[in-house]
Amino acid sequence: MILFDLGLAVLVLGVAAWTIAAREMFSAVVGYVAYGLLLAIVWVRLYAPDVALTEAAIGSGVTGVLLVVASKRLSLLPQADAPPGRGLKRAAAALSVLVAGVLAAAVLTLPDPAPSLAPEADRELAATGLGNAVTAVLIAYRSFDTMLEKVVLVLAVVGVWSVAPDRFWGGRPAPLGPPRPDAALVFLARVLAPIGIVIGVQMFWVGADEPGGAFQGGAILAAMAMIVMMARLTEPPRIDSGRLRLALIAGPAVFLVVGLAGPLMAGSFFAYPAGFAKPLILFIEGFMVLSIAVTLPLLVAGPPSRKGEE
């Protein structure tokens, strides 16, 4: 067991070192994708399957697509990097060793017994009707936090869009795939997407009781939307589409409305009425899944880069 963990630790650190030492940008990016996969296994070893699933779907899968595409586009331009000076390297190394050392010391001197909110989380779990404590924390105990995080996602989309040149405002992002995609890719998208949609919805649904939830299910749905776009079966939508914008804000908006109704229904902001918590939580999560599934592909597709008249 301990050998497995040690081996995994060496692997993760080794791949991380490779991503920063690689000479070419592309191999650094490939190293980062491998790193994300390994990290998901580390999370499983830390008894965090929910985090592992998020890391596998977003940290490795969706981020991998984003980075591979970006590195491919950037590699078309001339690289003009002067190698860093020796002084800078030494100073940076000293700083890094210092920070890592302090962190490692902090890890060794964590308070014992460890502070924990697990008993509190467990005490009210029955009242929420959920079986997965992580979902309960996300949507019930710390719901305000999660709602704001959804707002951050919308802001990120606005930020990405605002990078567009004025003349393309309201148009479509660049296509994710080649003009004439390989027939095998089209086949993969046609077969994998329906299966993935079922699995994504299932992961959201079982997230109430088992590892899974709105983030993980939404990320898998988003990935399916991306593969369909990579196969050019559909195009990234025009960013001025009303339906698109509605889907983008549906998650945080529904969350906020339910939260604001809290004082009327249950006596406090973001409180759920007793006995009615679980259906309400699933209702909110449903819209969150929709928003996440729309947001992530838009973030990967980037700013609009063509008018896209139809």
Partner 1 sequence: MSVLLGLFSLVAIGAGVFFFVAGTLALLRFPDSLSRLHALTKADNLGLGLVVLGLLPRAGSPLAALKLIVLWAIVQLSSATVAQLIGGALRRQDAAE
Partner 2 sequence: MSPWIIAGFVGAGLVGLGLYALVVNAQPLRKLLAFNLIGSGVFLVFGIVARRGAVGPFPFDPVPQAMVITGIVVAFAASALAVALMLRFAEETGRVTLDPDVWTKPKPDDGAEDQ
Partner 3 sequence: MNDVLLTAAGIILMTVAAGLVRVLDGPREVDRMMAVQLLGTGGIAALLLAASATEVAGVENVALGLALLSSFASVAFVTASPGTAKRARAGER
List binders of partner 1 among 179-198 (CB under 8 A). 182, 184-185, 187-188, 191-192, 195
Helix axis angle for 25-45 and 2-21, nearest 10°, is 160
CB of 41 to partner 1, least distance (A): 15
What angle in degrees, to the nearest 10, is found between the helix axes of 277-301 and 63-74?
10
Q: Are 10 and 38 in contact (CB under 8 A)?
A: no
Crossing angle between the packed helical segments 25-45 and 63-74, to the nearest 10 degrees: 170
Report the partner that residue 187 touches, choosing among partner 1, partner 2, partner 3, none (CB closer than 5 to 8 A by kind).
partner 1
Kindly state the smallest distance separating residue 203's Cβ from partner 2, in Å: 13
Q: Which positions from 125 through 184 interact with partner 2, judged by CB under 8 A? A: 133-134, 136-138, 141-142, 145-146, 149, 152-153, 156, 159-160, 163-164
Does 92 engage in binding with partner 2 (CB under 8 A)?
A: yes
Tell me whether the omega of the peptide bond preceding residue 84 falls within 30 degrees of 0, making it cis: no
**Cβ–Cβ < 8 Å for 72, 26:** yes
Closest separation in Å from C-beta 1 to partner 2: 8
Taking the complex as a whole, the smallest distance from the CB of residue 234 to partner 2 amounts, in Å, to 20
Residue 191's binding partner among partner 1, partner 2, partner 3, none (Cβ under 5 to 8 angstroms by kind) is partner 1
Residue ranges in 196-235 that form contacts with partner 2 under rule CB under 8 A: 215
CA atoms within 13 A on the CB side of 100: 7
Rounded CA Rg of the chain: 22
- Judged by beta carbon distances under 5 to 8 A according to partner kind, the member of partner 1, partner 3, partner 2, none in contact with residue 27 is partner 3
